[in-house]
Amino acid sequence: MEHEIHAQMRKFDLLVSGIDMAYHDAALKLGLSDSAMLILYTVFINGGECLLSDITSGVSKQTINSALRKLEADQVIRSELFKGRKKKVYLTEKGKQFATDTVLRVIEIENEIFGQWSEEERTVYMDLTRRYLADFREKIKEL
């Protein structure tokens, strides 16, 4: 049983790595770094604005801030202080068009794939992924 679980976890790890690599490949094809893609994706799906703290994914703050500065220099996004020390990130007009030409293409691919699955398949996938993440976070606290 333990060997079977280990083998399944290995397959799971490979799948997660494969998904990460597919998103990396998408970013490269669109001329974006992974962190720029993450920022644009997050801001875009949040209606063109979000708190900087909403842009998460295990990427270091330094990496995000570096990509943020480049996107600001390219006039794709702007950021400003919001309620004290929080920072809010906005797509500029140029950024809205840029995100539509890049990030929206990835979102459409995601939607096409999910759209091919039944409602039950989407629900099971989301429920199990959410459960795995919650359980994993709890176990990490015990380290």
- CATH value at residue 134: 1.10.10.10
Minimal CA–CA distance to 52: which of 13, 73, 9, 81?
81
Q: Is 125 helix (H, G, I), strand (E, B) or coil?
A: helix
Length of the chain measured in residues:
143
Task: Tell me which residue range forms the domain holding 43.
Answer: 2-141
Q: Count of domains in the chain?
A: 1
Q: Distance between CA atoms of 90 and 42, rounded to whole angstroms?
A: 11
Q: Distance between CA atoms of 116 and 112, rounded to whole angstroms?
A: 6
Q: Is 74 helix (H, G, I), strand (E, B) or coil?
A: coil
Return per-residue pLDDT of the chain as tens, 143 residues.
788 999 999 999 999 999 999 999 999 999 999 999 999 999 999 999 999 989 876 788 888 999 999 999 999 999 999 888 899 999 999 999 999 999 999 999 999 999 999 999 999 999 999 999 999 999 999 99
**Helix (DSSP H) and strand (DSSP E) numbers for the chain:** 6, 3
pTM of the predicted model as reported, rounded to 2 decimal places: 0.88
